[in-house]
């Protein structure tokens, strides 16, 4: 199957399954989205959503968050992975946002990635979902699916991101990355996945890939 035909069919299936793509992290501002995405590393969105109500009540914006002690932030997010490091980063980035950006989070990749604890993937999510800038954030779900579907041989998320940007239209990126995440969670788990019964892997994955994963 030619790559254009394959990607068009993938988009058609994902659009049918997930015509609506709500952001899975609860937030009520761009700042809160940034903090929630930062916290989601090595932690489920469900767990992040469990701790953010108390955190955002104490620090709903950069000004109030920057005034909280690191120990207080850590106690509020203690159930998420890497809580001590994330607490330090949340306080520090809040201070930087107040000192350098007048309380508003930067709206550029460069500005976001200069903040403590904010890597390219986090910045991409914020740019896409908060500012509507075309981006293709690649998490473990998307990295896995891109390999199974023969869309990338990248061993890093950075290479996978570049490959996906080449084969999918730019106007699809922001919605498509969420659709792929939803699909990965519902139909395409990392372990014990029967590719022959998957709505996409069953026709999209190569026989070599199917044989590798079913051993």
Distance CA 107, CA 94 (A): 15
Torsion of CA 77, 79, 82, 85, to 10 degrees: 20
Q: Is 139 designated active site? A: yes
Residue 176 and residue 14 in contact, taking contact as beta carbons nearer than 8 Å = yes
Q: Which two tokens stand for residue 89?
A: 């980063």
Q: Is 121 designated active site? A: yes
Which residue in 6, 139, 159, 162 is the catalytic one?
139
- Whose tokens are 């949340």? That residue is 90
Distance CA 104, CA 130 (A): 12
Q: Which residues are catalytic?
A: 121, 139
């Amino acid at each position: 199957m030619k790559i254009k035909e394959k990607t068009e069919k993938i988009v058609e299936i994902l659009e049918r399954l997930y015509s609506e793509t709500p952001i899975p992290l609860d937030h009520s501002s761009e700042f809160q989205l940034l903090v929630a995405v930062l916290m989601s590393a090595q932690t489920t969105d469900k767990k992040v959503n469990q701790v953010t109500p108390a955190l955002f009540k104490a620090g709903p914006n950069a000004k109030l968050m920057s005034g909280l002690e690191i120990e207080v932030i850590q106690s509020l997010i203690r159930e998420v992975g890497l809580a001590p490091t994330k607490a330090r980063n949340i306080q520090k980035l809040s201070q930087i946002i107040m000192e350098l950006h007048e309380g508003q989070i930067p709206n550029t990749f460069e500005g976001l990635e200069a903040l403590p604890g904010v890597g390219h993937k986090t910045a991409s999510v914020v740019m896409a979902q908060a500012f509507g800038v075309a981006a293709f954030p690649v998490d473990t779900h998307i990295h896995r699916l891109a390999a199974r579907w023969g869309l990338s041989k990248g061993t890093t998320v950075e290479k996978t991101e570049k490959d996906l940007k080449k084969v999918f239209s730019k106007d699809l990126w922001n919605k498509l990355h969420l659709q792929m995440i939803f699909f990965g969670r519902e139909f395409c788990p990392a372990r014990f996945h029967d590719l022959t019964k998957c709505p996409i892997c069953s026709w999209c994955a190569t026989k070599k890939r199917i044989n590798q994963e079913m051993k």
